[in-house]
Amino acid sequence: MILLRAYASIWDFVNSIFGTNIPSIPPNTYGFMMAMAFIVGIYLARKELARKTELGFFPKETKEIFVGQGIVLSEVILYGAFGFFLGLKVIGIVSNLDLFIADPQGFLLSMQGSFSGGILLGLVMGGYTAYDQWKNKKSQPIKKIVSNNIEDRIGDILIIAMIGGVLGSKLLDAIDNPESMSEFLSNPIGSLTSGLSVLGGLFTVSILLIIYAFKNKIKVFPFVDSLSPPFFLAYALGRLGCQFSGDGCWGISTAGLTKPSFIPDFLWGNIYEHNVNRDGVLIPGCTEPYCMKLAEPHLPTPLYETIFVTILFLILWKLRERLTIYPGAITGLFLIFNGLERFLIEFVRINNKYSYFGLNLSQAQFISIFMILVGSCMMLWAIKMNKQATS
């Protein structure tokens, strides 16, 4: 069954379905699902920010741009750098295909490739950009007024989410797993594709977005309220990446446990054949790059989270219009939901336990309790402020 094995690459999934024999090359499954998560999350966030703009929570703004200025050096350099990287990797893959197939991720996340190809394509793309700008230069540059509402700056939010999310996730995971920090110090770029803590990314991105809001004079609570529901759906997609790649986020062993009759097999025990962690025992006769499976079935906790979080997203998305008049309420409810979901799932996940205040819980569970408390206070505060404003 599809859900009962792991796929390091999207092509492994295609091979399994159609019987093809495509090499296990990028896009890898985890990275593909993370990309889908960002795309869906940003789409919904832009939609919600635009709704808040129409309601007057954010001002409608414009900015001036000039067409026909001639050669813009910064753009020439940017396109040239992009061309260099593209040539380095694409031409490098063509000329070193065996090396790429042996370790696709290592190849892409290093300086391996064709430097001559990179220089050539960089000069072509940079040169063409400069030529095109020179050809379309006007004696008097044309000024245009374009929209610059908060939803039009969604690219800023995407960059903050990507950088802050990955770095914050890695930092919190390194605190909980010292070996992860050693891996990060020895291979900073390559280690960013595994060993990530969602809560660490969430907190880091939240801080950066609040700073961004203050710096750009954006109302903080309507801003974070717009971003909270989309996070849940993005998180659900990201957890599917964990499940289908077999990255080690599985739950406790089901050996010795009795499966309730109403629970289907794929939601109970999973041995994660071909998992990308290469954990477990060797699969007899396997010739794929990833040939390990767990010795005992484990609970597929990423699937549990996907189902649970999708339901929570639907609830928040349904309530968002009704709670619009309470700035901060959606974010408060998001923190309560997120904290409750993570607190409960940790009981059946493999994790490290810590003893504080007489409680023996995981790092994520202590953080979840804090999230629930903060979320509850935000909900009460948002409702109280609205009543005071309307009285």
Encode pLDDT of 37-96 as tens digits. 999 999 999 999 999 999 999 999 998 888 888 888 999 999 999 999 999 999 988 888
Of the pLDDT bands very low, low, confident and very high (cuts 50, 70, 90), residue 223 is: very high
pLDDT, averaged across the chain = 88
Q: Supply the pLDDT for residue 169.
A: 78
Q: What is the DSSP letter of 257?
A: P
- Mean pLDDT across 354-375: 91
- Mean pLDDT across 322-344: 95
Distances (CA, A) of 154 to 163, 191, 313, 360, 382: 14, 28, 20, 41, 26
Of the pLDDT bands very low, low, confident and very high (cuts 50, 70, 90), residue 30 is: confident
Classify the C-alpha dihedral 318-327-40-351 as positive or negative. negative
pTM of the entire structure? 0.83
State pLDDT tens for residues 239-294: 999 999 998 889 999 988 999 999 988 899 899 999 988 899 999 998 878 899 99
Burial of 179 (0-12, 13-18, 19+ CB in 10 A): exposed
Q: Where are the alpha helices (DSSP H) in the chain?
A: 10-18, 29-54, 73-86, 92-95, 97-102, 104-108, 115-135, 154-176, 178-186, 198-215, 220-245, 301-319, 329-345, 363-390
Instruction: Kindly compute the dihedral angle of the four CA atoms of residues 318, 321, 322, 327, in this order, to the nearest 10 degrees.
Output: 120
**Which residue pairs from 367-373 have beta carbons closer than 8 angstroms and sit at least 24 positions apart in sequence?**
367/199, 367/339, 367/342, 368/199, 368/338, 368/339, 368/340, 368/342, 368/343, 369/339, 369/343, 370/339, 371/335, 371/336, 371/338, 371/339, 371/342, 372/335, 372/336, 372/339, 372/340, 372/343
- Mean pLDDT across 202-225: 93
Q: Supply the pLDDT for residue 385.
A: 85
Q: Which residue in this structure is represented by tokens 């998180």? A: 235
What size, in residues, is the chain? 391
Of the pLDDT bands very low, low, confident and very high (cuts 50, 70, 90), residue 391 is: low
Distances (CA, A) of 357 to 360, 367, 368: 9, 14, 15
User: How far is the C-alpha of 59 from the C-alpha of 222, rounded, in Å?
Assistant: 12
- Mean pLDDT across 124-128: 95
Contact 35, 10 (CB under 8 A): no
Q: Supply the pLDDT for residue 65.
A: 84
Q: Supply the pLDDT for residue 315.
A: 96
Q: Supply the pLDDT for residue 265.
A: 86
Q: Is 294 helix (H, G, I), strand (E, B) or coil?
A: coil
Q: Supply the pLDDT for residue 198.
A: 78
Q: Supply the pLDDT for residue 208.
A: 93
Direct distance between the N- and C-terminal alpha carbons of the chain, in angstroms, rounded to an integer: 59
Non-local (6+) Cβ contacts of 40 within 8 A are 230, 233, 234, 237
User: How far is the C-alpha of 3 from the C-alpha of 303, rounded, in Å?
Assistant: 9
State pLDDT tens for residues 162-197: 888 878 877 767 666 666 656 666 665 555 555 567
